[in-house]
Chain A
């Protein structure tokens, strides 16, 4: 059924890969002896790591600890990264593993089955999520809050990593690798349904007749 075809597609705009190429370029400069390269790498990738780690609902303090461990690991094990282009993926994978480890140690259950987790853990921003919905961004936020925790985590990781390595995501989410694509598609489909109900798509000028079924994801809807 759901073969997530875009997994191996080349990027179809500049955005997805810019972070990775900036990171690779900065990392390469550092390896060549330019200390500024490391500062630039930290500046480029720390925001991505923040969102990837916070997708696990770690507290800001724990999230910062995980990000710190990731950077220490990079400096201490830089020789292990053979291809500079891989540095971004190495960092996000390391951060996800560590976030996952911290979650498990804290006794937090990460949901295994898709729909078991309809009752979400309270997030720090719950007060905001209850605020009056008054514009598109609030509607999108409210729509995302209706998704289960796994969907929210997966969408956030994909949004910031752009083209994550699904085999690594599978490990970090404790899911079979083959189910990541379909799960992502289901999460997107659910989000679209909720957004339709709140007219988000119309406000953005989207085609109201667009098929919201899972299959539309696989076509890339371009």
Chain B
């Protein structure tokens, strides 16, 4: 067997054994679409990096049980700001069709408007022709905020300082 044949077999093998999660391409397409939109508005923002993902939920994302009944924590950061996000278990019905609450904590506390945009539904599909869904709230004096009744899907958070000269912050996408 030649070297290239072995690599062909290896490629097939890994594709079979460890396939991409369902909807990954669609989620990434939805993600780049939001980024292109941001670029077109000429609104420069500071991208927060995902620093930590709560370990206890490893393995549930993207699965049929995404989010059901379990809370998880994400920590995003830039040089200036830390953002802790906790997505709680589902509210509402037992069939998994309920909504999720999202609790956030900004360190240090700052006067910020928080907007959550739902860039794709749980399968990664983007609602064609639908207006972008978004939810807005403000950070309180302790740096905390909450958003309730969010349907499952792929989200990004945008944090806009009250100071019009300050750059807004944006998170990468995460599923709730």
Chain A residues within CB distance 8 Å of chain B: 6, 12-13, 15-16, 35, 38-39, 42-43, 46-47, 50-51, 54, 59-62, 64-65, 67-69, 71-72, 74-76, 124-125, 128, 137, 140-141, 144, 155-156, 158-160, 162, 188, 191-192, 201, 204, 206, 210, 217, 220-222
Task: Find out whether the CB atom of B61 lies under 8 angstroms from the CB atom of A64.
Answer: yes
A99 to chain B, nearest CB (A): 13
Contact of A125 among B8, B18, B31 (CB under 8 A): B18
B167 at the interface (CB under 8 A from A): no
Task: Find out whether the CB atom of A221 lies under 8 angstroms from the CB atom of B2.
Answer: yes
Chain B residues within CB distance 8 Å of chain A: 1-18, 20-21, 24-25, 27-29, 31-33, 35-36, 39, 47, 49-50, 53, 57-59, 61-62, 172-173
Task: Find out whether the CB atom of A60 lies under 8 angstroms from the CB atom of B21.
Answer: yes
Main secondary structure of the interface of B (DSSP, over half): helix
- Could you tell me the distance between the alpha carbons of A202 and B36 in the complex, rounded to whole angstroms? 52
Task: Find out whether the CB atom of A35 lies under 8 angstroms from the CB atom of B36.
Answer: yes
- Could you tell me the distance between the alpha carbons of A97 and B57 in the complex, rounded to whole angstroms? 25
- Could you tell me the distance between the alpha carbons of A12 and B21 in the complex, rounded to whole angstroms? 32
- Could you tell me the distance between the alpha carbons of A13 and B2 in the complex, rounded to whole angstroms? 13
- Could you tell me the distance between the alpha carbons of A205 and B33 in the complex, rounded to whole angstroms? 48
- Could you tell me the distance between the alpha carbons of A128 and B4 in the complex, rounded to whole angstroms? 26
Given A54-B18, A201-B1, A220-B3, residue A75 in contact with residue B13 (CB < 8 A)? no
Pairs A-B, 10 closest by C-beta atoms: A221-B2, A75-B35, A159-B10, A206-B1, A159-B11, A50-B20, A61-B61, A159-B7, A59-B58, A46-B25
List the A side residues contacting B3 at CB < 8 Å.
6, 188, 217, 220-221
Given A59-B58, A221-B3, residue A42 in contact with residue B32 (CB < 8 A)? yes
Task: Find out whether the CB atom of B16 lies under 8 angstroms from the CB atom of A46.
Answer: no
Task: Find out whether the CB atom of B13 lies under 8 angstroms from the CB atom of A60.
Answer: no
What is the total of A-B residue contacts with beta carbons within 8 Å?
Answer: 124
Task: Find out whether the CB atom of A60 lies under 8 angstroms from the CB atom of B11.
Answer: no
Main secondary structure of the interface of A (DSSP, over half): helix
Q: Which residue of B lies closest to A185 (CB)?
A: B3
Contact of A60 among B10, B15, B62 (CB under 8 A): B62
A106 to chain B, nearest CB (A): 10
Task: Find out whether the CB atom of B173 lies under 8 angstroms from the CB atom of A141.
Answer: no
Task: Find out whether the CB atom of A47 lies under 8 angstroms from the CB atom of B29.
Answer: no
Contact of B28 among A71, A162, A221 (CB under 8 A): A71
- Could you tell me the distance between the alpha carbons of A160 and B14 in the complex, rounded to whole angstroms? 9
Q: Which residue of A lies closest to B36 (CB)?
A: A75
List the B side residues contacting A191 at CB < 8 Å.
6
Task: Find out whether the CB atom of A60 lies under 8 angstroms from the CB atom of B14.
Answer: no
Task: Find out whether the CB atom of A141 lies under 8 angstroms from the CB atom of B2.
Answer: no
Given A43-B25, A72-B172, A220-B2, residue A158 in contact with residue B7 (CB < 8 A)? yes
Contact of A160 among B11, B16, B39 (CB under 8 A): B11
List the B side residues contacting A155 at CB < 8 Å.
7, 10
5 contacts between A and B (CB under 8 A): A15-B8, A51-B18, A65-B53, A137-B12, A141-B13
